[in-house]
Structure 1
Amino acid sequence: MKLIAIDLDGTLLTAESKPSTEGLAAIRNILSGEDHKVTICTGRARFDVKGIIGEDLSIPIISSNGAAVHDERGRLLNETPIPHPIAAESISYLLEQDVYFEIFCPEDIYSPCGGEGKLQAEIDILVSANPDIDADTLQAGVQTQFQQFGFKQIDDLREVVQAGSPIYKLLIFTYDDAKLDRIRHHFRDQPFVHTTAAAKHTLEIISTETDKGSALQFLASYYDIDMADTIVIGDSYNDISMFQIAGTKVAMGNAVEEVKRLSTLTTRSNNEHGVAYALNTLLDL
């Protein structure tokens, strides 16, 4: 038996953030044979994943970049949240930076009221300074961010920490590159959290105990599957930890070079149904 871990954004999802129908069909075909396990391994929240792939597809899910691992029945197997004192410090710092960010918890994604307006203001500044910039692409990025399932807007994000809920990750989204670099530098070499990214203009803060690779190792051990019998398919920086340990590594055609260098195989792009091509043709599963 093999364990196949598939990323979402830039991988199973097209550029429009919609799942590849061919990719989903290939996954269902593999599951019908009962010879292999398939898991989604993503930076998204579990409830967001279920909203995207459908409630009827019963598979284990590694979510929030590995901060939570659920089995195919939805039972929580493992979680590595940010320690609450560190989360509180991090949230206070981000509020001081006047940047848009989200808080991922087990049941909700918390977003600040007025967050969309903050991002629109950044777009307006960019367009004013660079008239040739593609404003539609920037707008599409904002719309995708606010289409996540489980969104809950609140006035004060510090209330999330006060409520005591586990905090899986903090996601920063900004078109201000200087601000993003400053935040990345602030969290560099901290003992309890580290950063990763799945897309341009974003930065994710997670526990140092959290990454996709560690979560994949946990799930493989849970199902008594050797790491040599794991297959990963991905495209971005937050997939690197998986590619460093899996037996077979498939890079999307649109993957960043760092992922391609670690790959065993390269498939077609996400817009060309690369997951289906990898599963059906390259791997012949």
Structure 2
Amino acid sequence: MNYKMIAIDLDNTLLTSEKNIDQETIDLIKKADEAGKKVILATGRMFEAAVNFLEELELNTPLITYNGALIKNKDGKVIQENLISDELTKEVVEFAEDFGLHIQYYSEGNYYYRWENNYAREYGEITGLTGIETRVKLQNYIEKPALKLLVIEEEEKRREYFKKELYKYYKHRLSISSSMETYIEITASNVNKGRALADLADSYNILPEEIIAVGDGYNDLPMLEMAGLGVAMENASEKVRAKADRITQSNDDQGVAKVLEYLLSCNERA
């Protein structure tokens, strides 16, 4: 198969545990780009916490962020945007705060939380961006629709109970997923990486069967399932690996590089 596009998740996929990209993978991405392959980065991160990787890789392709809620060019031009209404944003934030959970609200390139705590600090260290502490009930601070809401909770019972309640009341009005075990990520209805990737592929006249998608999280499943070849990382959960077409090595063992080598070998055979 002559694959024409490869979509790659960032955290725990393209990025190592040290949050960088190994040089061999960088070189292979540049080689794929030079061969005319569309290399797409698809992440749950906000645009501002991911665009530096486009620059590092010297890619000019659009960037899928917020699990598909926002697609932008490297220069910041919006290609596609799907927002949660401000009324629904306030409702869900209040719902989470009534449970005593840490929730972050994302809007117009910033993210906000009520109190700075270990969750907020750790998130800032991962993304390299500092959020804004409101020090008032977050639902009273919201004035604009959200691109994403993020609940962070380490205690599994509390996290899973809240997720169950979210599905009960909001599954038809919101998309609910997770990129990491402690995260609950909330976006507008029908938003996911698979839909965003399909829209981008269509703009390039690329068919789903001509796409490879690589990821590790539950939020990656929609794009792994829509792509002609869905590849899960070895470090992905068992449920994600079970739904993939193939498994590659872990993010700390050049798993993405192995997929890129396969992509380029298919190109050579074609």
Normalising to structure 2: TM-score of the pair?
Answer: 0.87
Does 1:272 find its partner at 2:236? no
Match 2:166 to one of 162, 187, 212: 187
- Match for residue 50 of structure 2? 49
User: Quick one: which amino acid aligns to residue 252 of structure 2?
Assistant: N
- Match for residue 13 of structure 1? 15
Match 1:110 to one of 102, 109, 112: 112
Instruction: Give, in whole Å, the separation in 2 of the partners of 1:228 and 1:237.
Output: 21
Does 1:77 find its partner at 2:79? yes
- Match for residue 229 of structure 2? 248
Instruction: Give, in whole Å, the separation in 2 of the partners of 1:92 and 1:65.
Output: 22
SS across alignment from 1:188: helix
How far the C-alpha of 1:114 sits from its partner, in A, is 2.4
Preserved contact between residue 6 and residue 41 of structure 1 (Cα < 8 Å): yes
1:215-230 aligned at under 5 Å gives the runs 215-230=196-211
Instruction: Give, in whole Å, the separation in 1 of the partners of 2:77 and 2:141.
Output: 23
Preserved contact between residue 188 and residue 194 of structure 1 (Cα < 8 Å): no
SS across alignment from 2:213: strand
Preserved contact between residue 20 and residue 273 of structure 1 (Cα < 8 Å): yes
- Per-residue deviation, residues 2-41 of structure 1 (Å, max 9, x unmatched): 12110011100112222333222221221123x1111111
Alignment gaps of 5+ in structure 2: none
1:87-98 aligned at under 5 Å gives the runs 87-98=89-100
- Match for residue 143 of structure 1? 122
Q: How many residues align?
A: 259
How far the C-alpha of 1:283 sits from its partner, in A, is 5.2
Name the CA shift for 1:167/1:212 in 2 (closer, same or farther; >3 Å). Answer: same
How far the C-alpha of 1:229 sits from its partner, in A, is 1.0
Instruction: Give, in whole Å, the separation in 2 of the partners of 1:31 and 1:159.
Output: 46
* RMSD, aligned CA: 2.2
SS across alignment from 1:54: helix
SS across alignment from 1:216: helix
User: Quick one: which amino acid aligns to residue 113 of structure 1?
Assistant: W
User: Quick one: which amino acid aligns to residue 41 of structure 1?
Assistant: A
User: Quick one: which amino acid aligns to residue 51 of structure 1?
Assistant: N
How far the C-alpha of 1:216 sits from its partner, in A, is 0.8
Identity of aligned residues (%): 27
User: Quick one: which amino acid aligns to residue 237 of structure 2?
Assistant: V
- Per-residue deviation, residues 173-229 of structure 1 (Å, max 9, x unmatched): 112222212210121042211310111111111112211111111111122211111
Preserved contact between residue 18 and residue 52 of structure 1 (Cα < 8 Å): no
Match 2:152 to one of 173, 185, 189: 173
How far the C-alpha of 1:271 sits from its partner, in A, is 0.2
Name the CA shift for 1:61/1:213 in 2 (closer, same or farther; >3 Å). Answer: same
After alignment, is 179-188 or 13-22 more displaced? 13-22
How far the C-alpha of 1:282 sits from its partner, in A, is 6.2
SS across alignment from 1:194: strand
